[in-house]
A and B are shown apart, each in its own frame.
Chain A
Amino acid sequence: MSMEEKQNSLTFQDFSQSVLKPETREDISLIIRECYKKNIPIEVNCLQSKKSIGRNFQAEKTLNLSNYRGIIEYKPEELYIKVKSGTSIKEIKTELDKYNQQLAFEPNDFGFLFKGNPDEGSIGGVVSCNFAGPRRFKVGSVRDHVLGFQGINGRGETIKSGGTVVKNVTGYDLSKILTGSFGTLTVLTEISIKVLPKPESSKTMVIKNPHLLKAIEYLNTSLSSSNDPSGGVFYPEYFSNNFTFNDLTHEGPFTAIRIEGPNESIDHRVKDLSKELELNIDETLVLENEQSKILWEKTRSLEVFSKMKSNLLRIVVPPSETFEVIKKIRPLEPKYFIDWGGSLIWLQLDKINIKIFNDIRKIVNNAGGYLTVIKIEEDLKASVDIFSVDPIRYKISEKLKKSFDPKRILNPGKMYSGI
């Protein structure tokens, strides 16, 4: 029996099961080819930490990539790591730690939200969702760190694009289009990710302030400063008791701004920025490296929403619009916090219905932003658009989907109804 026949027969035997957990790219390809041939829709997932984000859809089979894992190649001096898509973020971070490097985009961890404990999921999932953490405004999003990939399209064909070098303009940049596509275009098999050295140290200025408008002003001035902050959040009072630090003496709402880099530069930059923000000593305190790290870890992991029962919306607007958007939503009594130096609003709503939802989306769209549903009551899930889309974009998205997955077998309907 040839190698190919052997693999074929193995896979066909397995194919009768409803959840398939292949260990090789050849098997993944055979499964997709079989689905393509027989018109079988298939749900693609891995560690399922973000499984409930996106629309509900029907699929006869499930392709679970959790057995397709491992680091293929890690070149610290070339600043990239190439991994199989099912590799957990935890495993990747453990490896990067050895060389004092990191995934600079700080992927959001949805584990607290959905389960009450950390679960960062797999690299395939992180790339498919494109949710970057606090450092986004400085270093870019997940999509800015994907250097290349290999994957299986909806015809079962192995395709690749990009590579492992940062400068590469050979052909269309398919890494971008696959990042954030929620597994609807191609099953990612191998991903090359840009990694960066961890900053030597970090400090966080915590500014006590009760007013949103002032907070936004602080964030705006900081982000326009040559002191180069790498994080900027605002937590209103109801969330501030989630942050108990030795150095943190006050209770109540606060703005936090992170400065990272070589040790000797940080103190000067913190001092300089305090001056720029015209801060008084009694309204500011500075978190040292370890405590600073904890604050941003909690922010990245959405810890304030731990085991939350209510609805969660992710709103991104131009920073100049943040205040007005929140002001307009305020009558609905939401809980929220602001990340990305003023651009990203995480909005918790205890009460929601279609009208409320549509009103919020309208406010956000009018402000030049977008809204993504992260968590919503099950009976509402089918009747709202999880991702914003206009008719033109829908049409182009449909064409794009067809070019990768002509029979709509990969996560059909996960992003948009009919795509």
Chain B
Amino acid sequence: MSSLQMPKVEKSIISNRNEIVSDLEKIVKSENILSHQDEIKPYETDALAAYTQSPMLVVLPETVNEVSKVLKYCNENKIKIVPRGAGTGLSGGALPLEDCILLSMGKFNKILELDYKNRCVVAQPCVTNLAITHAVQDKGFYYAPDPSSQIACSIGGNVAENSGGVHSLKYGATTNNLLGIQVVLMDGTITRFGGKAMDSEGYDFLGLMTGSEGLLGVVTEVTVKILKTPEIIKAALIGFSSIEDAGNCVAEIIAKGCIPAGMEIMDKALLKATNDFCKAGYPTEAEAMMIIEFDGSEFEVESHIKTAEKIARKNNSSSLKISQSNEERLKFWSGRKAAFPACGDLAPDYMCMDGSIPRGKLAEVLKEINNLSKKYKLPVANAFHAGDGNLHPLIMFDASDKDQLRRCEEFGADILKYCVKVGGALTGEHGVGIEKRELMCEAFNNTDIQQQLKIKVALDPNSLLNPGKVYPILRKCAEEGRVHVHGGKTKFPDIPRF
């Protein structure tokens, strides 16, 4: 992996390490300060495992007052802080710095309130995304945003990254499902943005904090809205003999007013890889396959499924199957969910990209990706959240071959640049972190970036909170930007990724 420039290391801070530890012992319990190399080791990377760096210290505060005091102390002593939730992020947002204190929020793991009257849950930031749904499902509720890592990722991390999921088109991402947060700013100020009431007055700091990748504050409490579990969910598995037909089908379904809960497209390469891997029974002769899912009341779902079926046939679908039971529906998804590991089986390594594109550009973008695949002589397979335009190309390569690694990195950067060119975005859900930092100037000019940096400086004048992330240190459009998986193994092999 190419080396990455990070903020200048303050040697004087590192040499003061013992003194810092004894100062911190006045704020948090001494067992909550980790300084031994063996204890620190697990924190040296997040799910972007290609980059590792041990922090100077790890601190695990237990209360919001402790967080506030740690931040205030760091601010006064110019010590860098990197906040961390579950560490499942794919863009390196929780990568430590050599001279930083890694602030693990791991002890903030309790659900504080289930408030059915106001249809919300108040939780500490390190509660997992799925735990919120688990806590309310017996009363028929759930939390809508469902990133693929939901079994392990933390709700505070979801706020930091504005995580989405397969159901973003209908239910939105984290930002649309968040009612309030308690947050600690770099100077130690504890405040709340939003609450249990809808919207907030004045400047929307809740919206600004969401997706700010831990650069503006540390979230210490989260209030999310919960929704009633849909009465039924039904899916259709549809094959197409061309990407264009699949693309037209997507556009027409949406134009007709059917907003599906989820809509996924896999290209031929991925279909084949998946079917060989887990025998999902997909139509491998098809050029593209779509899984479309509707949820809601029974009559609404039936009506939408019928419409989708009609539109699919009109757009030359080569095969069409509608789930007759929940088991069958889950079987439709099982192959899609195994798509990433399936690619891991085809090559020693794969790189998972995360761009957003206008839905209608799918055929054009896939054509370009295939051209690039020929240019860089590396195979690629594509998964597409068609509902919300989020494209995940998986580039297969062998990282032990330096030339292949270089080609893969250039290939990935070219894909993301093309996404921006057709009106899309550099990242749909993985965040910028360190991974796509250098590509920010593809999406923004210097004035845009300077405005964002001015907001950062307004809240963190010494740039101590998660420095080196999101914004380029040197304004160069380097060839960075992907999730690298070696030997089919991710940092957390047991967490699903799709």
A159 touches B447 (CB 8 A): yes
B140, B141, B175, B216, most chain A CB atoms within 10 A: B175
B447 touches A170 (CB 8 A): no
Q: B208: which A residues are within 8 A, CB to CB?
A: 172-174, 176-177
B117 touches A320 (CB 8 A): yes
In the complex where A100-B257, A144-B176, A318-B196 touch, is A168 in contact with B425 (Cβ < 8 A)?
Answer: yes
B15 to chain A: closest CB distance in Å?
A: 33
Please measure, in the bound complex, the distance between the C-alpha atom of A157 and the C-alpha atom of B453, giving whole angstroms: 14
Q: A140: which B residues are within 8 A, CB to CB?
A: 172, 176
Residue B259 is within 8 A (CB to CB) of chain A in the complex: yes
Residue A368 is within 8 A (CB to CB) of chain B in the complex: yes
Nearest B residue to A314 by beta-carbon distance?
A: B201
Q: A340: which B residues are within 8 A, CB to CB?
A: 198
B254 touches A197 (CB 8 A): yes
A59 to chain B: closest CB distance in Å?
A: 20
Within 8 A of A (CB), among B280-307: 296-300, 302-304, 307
B448 touches A77 (CB 8 A): no
B356 to chain A: closest CB distance in Å?
A: 4
A316 CB contact (under 8 Å) in B197, B299, B436: B197
Residue B116 is within 8 A (CB to CB) of chain A in the complex: yes
Residue A203 is within 8 A (CB to CB) of chain B in the complex: no
Residue A167 is within 8 A (CB to CB) of chain B in the complex: yes
A77 touches B164 (CB 8 A): no
B207 touches A173 (CB 8 A): yes
A361 to chain B: closest CB distance in Å?
A: 11
A397 touches B202 (CB 8 A): yes
Query: Among B67-75, B313-321, B336-344, B427-435, which stretch is in contact with chain A?
Result: B427-435
B298 to chain A: closest CB distance in Å?
A: 8
Q: A387: which B residues are within 8 A, CB to CB?
A: 201-202
B429 CB contact (under 8 Å) in A169, A224, A261: A169
Within 8 A of A (CB), among B383-428: 385, 388-390, 423-428
Query: Among B19-27, B326-334, B357-365, B368-376, which stretch is in contact with chain A?
Result: B357-365
Q: A78: which B residues are within 8 A, CB to CB?
A: 358-360, 389
Q: A167: which B residues are within 8 A, CB to CB?
A: 164, 168, 173, 356, 385, 388-390, 425, 428-429
A158 touches B447 (CB 8 A): yes
Residue A404 is within 8 A (CB to CB) of chain B in the complex: yes
B170 to chain A: closest CB distance in Å?
A: 10
A172 CB contact (under 8 Å) in B195, B259, B359, B455: B455
Please measure, in the bound complex, the distance between the C-alpha atom of A388 and the C-alpha atom of B192, giving whole angstroms: 14
B254 touches A176 (CB 8 A): no
Within 8 A of A (CB), among B226-253: 228-231, 251-252
Please measure, in the bound complex, the distance between the C-alpha atom of A185 and the C-alpha atom of B458, giving whole angstroms: 14
Residue B210 is within 8 A (CB to CB) of chain A in the complex: yes
A339 to chain B: closest CB distance in Å?
A: 11
Please measure, in the bound complex, the distance between the C-alpha atom of A224 and the C-alpha atom of B230, giving whole angstroms: 11
Nearest B residue to A224 by beta-carbon distance?
A: B228
Residue A143 is within 8 A (CB to CB) of chain B in the complex: yes
Nearest A residue to B470 by beta-carbon distance?
A: A171
In the complex where A165-B423, A173-B211, A415-B202 touch, is A268 in contact with B297 (Cβ < 8 A)?
Answer: yes
B254 touches A79 (CB 8 A): yes
Nearest B residue to A272 by beta-carbon distance?
A: B297
A172 touches B212 (CB 8 A): yes
Please measure, in the bound complex, the distance between the C-alpha atom of A376 and the C-alpha atom of B256, giving whole angstroms: 45
Residue B452 is within 8 A (CB to CB) of chain A in the complex: yes
A179 touches B423 (CB 8 A): no
Residue A130 is within 8 A (CB to CB) of chain B in the complex: yes
Nearest A residue to B140 by beta-carbon distance?
A: A226
A265 touches B297 (CB 8 A): yes
Q: B254: which A residues are within 8 A, CB to CB?
A: 77, 79, 197
Please measure, in the bound complex, the distance between the C-alpha atom of A399 and the C-alpha atom of B454, giving whole angstroms: 10
Within 8 A of A (CB), among B427-469: 427-432, 436, 440, 443-444, 447-449, 451-452, 454-455, 457-459
B307 to chain A: closest CB distance in Å?
A: 8
A166, A223, A269, A317, most chain B CB atoms within 10 A: A166
Q: A158: which B residues are within 8 A, CB to CB?
A: 447
Interface bits A381-400 vs B (CB < 8 Å: 1, else 0)? 00000011100110011011
B427 touches A169 (CB 8 A): yes
Residue A302 is within 8 A (CB to CB) of chain B in the complex: no
Please measure, in the bound complex, the distance between the C-alpha atom of A130 and the C-alpha atom of B307, giving whole angstroms: 34
Please measure, in the bound complex, the distance between the C-alpha atom of A196 and the C-alpha atom of B255, giving whole angstroms: 9
Residue B366 is within 8 A (CB to CB) of chain A in the complex: no
B202 touches A393 (CB 8 A): yes
Q: B37: which A residues are within 8 A, CB to CB?
A: none
In the complex where A227-B297, A400-B203 touch, is A75 in contact with B458 (Cβ < 8 A)?
Answer: no
Interface bits A194-236 vs B (CB < 8 Å: 1, else 0)? 0011111000000000000000000010011111100000000
Within 8 A of B (CB), among A175-193: 175-177, 179-181, 185
B172 touches A144 (CB 8 A): yes
Q: A228: which B residues are within 8 A, CB to CB?
A: 228, 296-297, 300
Residue A369 is within 8 A (CB to CB) of chain B in the complex: yes
Nearest B residue to A371 by beta-carbon distance?
A: B201
A323 to chain B: closest CB distance in Å?
A: 11
Q: A400: which B residues are within 8 A, CB to CB?
A: 203, 205, 455, 458
Residue A250 is within 8 A (CB to CB) of chain B in the complex: no
A198 touches B202 (CB 8 A): no
A97 to chain B: closest CB distance in Å?
A: 14
In the complex where A143-B199, A269-B299 touch, is A170 in contact with B426 (Cβ < 8 A)?
Answer: yes
Q: A393: which B residues are within 8 A, CB to CB?
A: 191, 202, 205
Which residues of A come within 8 Å of B, CB atoms?
75-79, 99-100, 130, 132, 136-137, 140-141, 143-144, 153, 157-161, 163-177, 179-181, 185, 196-200, 220, 223-228, 261-265, 268-269, 272, 316-320, 340, 343-344, 368-370, 372, 387-389, 392-393, 396-397, 399-400, 402-404, 415-416
Known: A77-B251, A158-B447. 8 other contacts (CB 8 A): A170-B440, A265-B296, A268-B299, A344-B198, A369-B195, A389-B202, A399-B458, A399-B459
Which residues of B come within 8 Å of A, CB atoms?
115-119, 140-141, 161-162, 164, 168-169, 172-173, 175-176, 185, 189, 191, 195-208, 210-212, 216, 228-231, 251-252, 254-259, 296-300, 302-304, 307, 356-360, 385, 388-390, 423-432, 436, 440, 443-444, 447-449, 451-452, 454-455, 457-459, 470-471
Q: Could you list 9 A-B pairs, sorted by A, with CB under 8 Å?
A: A130-B199, A143-B199, A165-B424, A167-B390, A169-B429, A197-B256, A224-B119, A396-B185, A396-B203
